[in-house]
Amino acid sequence: MNNPTKLVKTALENALNATLLLSLLDYVLSLATSFLGKLRESPTPTQLLGLLITPLWNLLRGFVTLGLVMLLLLAGIVIALFILLMPLLLIVTSPIWIPTAMVLLLVTTLLLFVCGFIVVVVAMVLRAFRSFGSHNPLS
């Protein structure tokens, strides 16, 4: 069985690998050399502005991309949890939903009945005025 101290030491040695650090340093130096070489050619103000803005734009683009990826990941997690937990939520809250649905059904039925009754009464009154009255109230 490995000793925890030995595992930590091995992990630190791998993290501080000299080859990795040298390759990273070489990459940064090549970027700096390229940037300074472009500056030695006496660029126009527009080119200088482009040289200064491009790294910032790339950084901003990276942050926006990372933000969008995180937003999509969070939305997927929320939707998955909603789908997985919905049956449990309905079972736990059914004492609330069943009476609420019954009350909504009764209120909707009563409202439709009253509206239909009003339409029938208005139609009967108009028909009575048309049949027995001397004039049409809508004209």
Q: C-alpha distances in angstroms, 22 versus 17, 25, 29, 69?
A: 9, 5, 10, 31
Shared domain check, 100 and 129: yes
17 shares a domain with 3: yes
- Judgement on whether residues 38 and 54 belong to the same structural domain of the protein: no
Phi, psi of 41 (to 5 degrees): -80, 15
- Does residue 22 sit in the same domain as residue 37? yes
pLDDT for 75 equals 95
For residues 112 and 106, is the Cβ–Cβ distance under 8 A? no
The total domain count for the chain is 3
State whether 116 and 128 are in the same domain. Answer: yes
54 and 13 inside one domain? no
62: containing domain = 44-92
**Same domain, residue pair 104 and 131:** yes
Per-residue pLDDT of the chain (139 residues; tens, 9 = 90+): 456 566 556 655 665 565 656 666 676 677 777 766 666 666 677 776 777 777 778 888 888 899 999 999 999 999 999 999 988 888 888 888 889 999 999 999 999 999 999 999 999 988 888 777 766 556 5
Judge if 37 and 49 occupy the same domain.
Answer: no
Each residue of 112-132: pLDDT tens digit? 999 999 999 999 988 888 777
